Structure 1
């Protein structure tokens, strides 16, 4: 049985529905948005350009209820741009989407005992689009300097993330 405090917390901070996530993407983001998996998933595909001098990056952001959102750059191939160097702040891509999965925020990580910086009470469009754009800016700086200036927790892509 749920505790009184957990019920109150859910009422104060309701999980945003896939339909509302879809509407948020449609209203503020150029690109294609689809609802998939029997209305359990929203997926945005679009292009980000961190600065006017930056290249365009094709990005897919996919969010399924009760799972963490993922952000994958599909074009250009970031590994090719990195000339074989290990790209900082990425995850091993275990999705069916081909590309590089970005590490945009600190999830709930077992060994760090921290709460996730992203919550299902947040709009994916309002968080992941600017976070991905900032990540791509720092990626371009890293390509030039070989120093990551985007902050974050250092990891090799093998963090044990709790959903």
Structure 2
């Protein structure tokens, strides 16, 4: 696709590539999907929220990136772990477990509104969950990447 991918295009691509994901909320240029992902051992209920920018908005990947949350099973911390209680997450709420997944470095242009969620965000969520399951078992995060403290996410 060329140009900013509209929310209608994002929804169509998600429906085509990930039919188990349902749009649970749609408001203007925003949509939220919920669906299952099972990379290895557990099936996770995942929520992806996104607002497609208008052409005139400043394209800031920290503000425009999709927000991905694991709804269940609940992510479990490893207290005292060198990676942190939960590695590669953004704390978005009052609870220490209310987090969004950190799946890419917004400063390195790995993702932009020119890309589809179906072809980037969902596969990256699968990679993140795989790395998380490995980290829970071994204490080693194999997903690589650099973790930023707290970017500004869509809706903030």
Q: Could you say which TM-score interval applies, normalised by the shorter chain?
A: 0.7 to 0.9
Do residues 82 (structure 1) and 77 (structure 2) align?
Answer: yes
Which of the residues 59, 64, 71 maps onto 2:46?
59
1:124 partner SS = coil
Do residues 140 (structure 1) and 133 (structure 2) align?
Answer: yes
For the structure 1 residues 162 and 73, does the alpha-carbon distance in structure 2 shift closer, same or farther, using more than 3 Å as the test?
Answer: closer
Q: Could you say which structure has the larger radius of gyration?
A: 1
Q: Which has the higher helix share?
A: 1
Structure 1 residues 28-69: Cα deviation after superposition (integer angstroms, max 9, x where no partner):
1112124522x2112210011112xx1111100111023221
Q: Are the aligned partners of 2:37 and 2:43 in contact in 1 as well (CA < 8 Å)?
A: yes
Q: Are the aligned partners of 2:48 and 2:69 in contact in 1 as well (CA < 8 Å)?
A: yes
CA distance in 1, matches of 2:106, 2:65: 8
Q: Are the aligned partners of 1:77 and 1:99 in contact in 2 as well (CA < 8 Å)?
A: no
Give the aligned partner of residue 73 of structure 1.
70
Give the aligned partner of residue 42 of structure 1.
31
CA distance in 1, matches of 2:78, 2:141: 16
In the alignment, structure 2 segments of 5+ residues that lack a partner are: 54-63
Structure 1 residues 94-148: Cα deviation after superposition (integer angstroms, max 9, x where no partner):
59xx84310011113xxxxxx4310111001111111001100010100011111
Q: Are the aligned partners of 2:36 and 2:45 in contact in 1 as well (CA < 8 Å)?
A: yes
Give the aligned partner of residue 8 of structure 1.
none
Higher RCO, 1 vs 2 (CA within 8 Å, ≥6 residues apart) = 2
1:125 partner SS = coil
Q: Are the aligned partners of 1:57 and 1:76 in contact in 2 as well (CA < 8 Å)?
A: yes
Query: How does the TM-score come out when normalised to structure 1?
Result: 0.74
